[in-house]
Amino acid sequence: MRFGFRGRDVAPAPGLAASRTTLENAVLKATIAADGTLASLIHKPSGREALAGPGNQLWAYPVDKPRNWDAWDVEDDYAERGEQLTALDSLELVERGPHRAAIRVVRSFRNSTITQTYVLAANSPRLDIETTLDWHDRRVFLRTRTPVAARAMTATFECANGVVKRPTHANTSWDQAMYEAAAHRFIDLSETGFGVALLNNAKYGHNVRGNVLGLSLLRSPIYPDPLADEGTQSFTYALLPHAGDWHESGVREEAEDLNQPLLLREVSGLRQGTATPLAVGGIPAAFSGLKAAEEGGGLVFRVYEPAGRRGDFAVTAPGWTAAPVTILEEPQQRDAPAELMPFEVRSWRLTRG
């Protein structure tokens, strides 16, 4: 992990191709069905088909009337009254450039319009689904469902500074209660050697039942706000097939990129070079923050271990001194068998000299 910059020309990766129903690069080949769902998503490095049925199915549950707390509750029997949205207004190739290609699907549901654009970048291992809802209906629950070609007893849900494992079955009353569960930027279902992640940049209600990845896109309750979710909203979610387990294949990093994409600015008259004011070494860690210290000057640098590993970890900042501190930015005395423990949050105060 390095924090710095390097000037260079940005050339597209070779191999991006597109037609009205296919998007393909060196990593993925996606095929769009006539009803706008994903007919196929092939992970080319492994040769695996990632889907076990139509992907990105859109389902509307038009009787979303909880017994209590209209805007907060989701009833456990909501799925019994759903309808899949299969009719299309249009399906067309809207972009075919050297860096990315895109297919747009437009649907109507009652008084609302759903516009989804399947986007594949030239060097991307994920298929983005850019979604814009022009919503004018009440008490309708909208979800996406994708059956994937992977099976496991548990799925991985990202949470603050780590992950939790949740069951993919409903064997007990506790399991049954997890028909809707929170996750931050991704969920992942992996078997030995292969898995599929569902990433998002604005939606947090998920579930995994069997091999079906689900994401809640919209609810339109009438209390306490009678016009909740009314109007236009945009967000993106993505499917990421991968070899190996989620933490070996960059799932968290791709989710980070989806939520905080690299910002580029074209400049001229500058010399190319590399600068690394801050670097770390050791086991993989996730960047949490770099901020001004609350008291006493200097900066506070914070990371966390995201996957349950332990091992060596060191911070290097030329011209600065790095001293361990607690989350309250007080001097820290650690008594741990490794420099970074599973799911540990660590902070350092950086002072000049």
State the average pLDDT over residues 229-256: 97
Sign of CA dihedral 174, 207, 247, 7: negative
Q: Which residues pair with 166 in a beta bridge?
A: 155
pLDDT of 9 reads 59
115 alpha carbon, distance to own chain's centre: 20
Q: Are 216 and 183 in contact (CB under 8 A)?
A: no
Nearest to 123 by CA among 15, 254, 249: 15
Q: Are 301 and 347 in contact (CB under 8 A)?
A: yes
Predicted TM-score (pTM) of the model is 0.94
195-222 burial, b at 16+ Cβ within 10 Å, e below that, comes to bbbbbbbebebbbbbebbbbbbbbbbbe
259 alpha carbon, distance to own chain's centre: 7
- The DSSP bridge pattern shows strands 127-135 and 100-109 to be unpaired
Mean predicted lDDT score pLDDT of the chain: 94
Would you tell me how many other CB atoms lie within 10 Å of the CB of residue 257? 16
Phi, psi of 39 (to 5 degrees): -80, -30
What are the structural domains, with CATH classification, of the chain?
11-259 (2.70.98.30), 275-352 (2.60.40.2220)
Residue 136 CB-density burial (10 A; 0-12 exposed, 13-18 middle, 19+ buried):
middle
pLDDT in tens, 91-120: 999 999 999 999 999 999 999 999 999 999
Q: Are 86 and 34 in contact (CB under 8 A)?
A: no
pLDDT over 50 at 3, yes or no: no
* Cα–Cα distance, 60 to 246 (Å, whole number): 30
The percent of residues in the chain predicted with pLDDT above 70, rounded, is: 97
Q: Which residues contact 182 (CB under 8 A, 6 or more apart)?
A: 157, 159, 204, 205, 206
* Cα–Cα distance, 216 to 72 (Å, whole number): 13
Size of the chain in residues: 353
Q: Are 302 and 263 in contact (CB under 8 A)?
A: no
Q: Are 309 and 33 in contact (CB under 8 A)?
A: no
Encoded tokens for 87: 């009719």
pLDDT in tens, 21-67: 999 999 999 999 999 999 999 999 999 999 999 999 999 999 888 98
Residue 133 CB-density burial (10 A; 0-12 exposed, 13-18 middle, 19+ buried):
buried
Quick one: which H or E segment has residue 214?
Answer: strand 212-219
pLDDT in tens, 304-335: 999 999 999 999 999 999 999 999 999 999 99
pLDDT of 353 reads 81
Token pair 């086991």: residue: 283
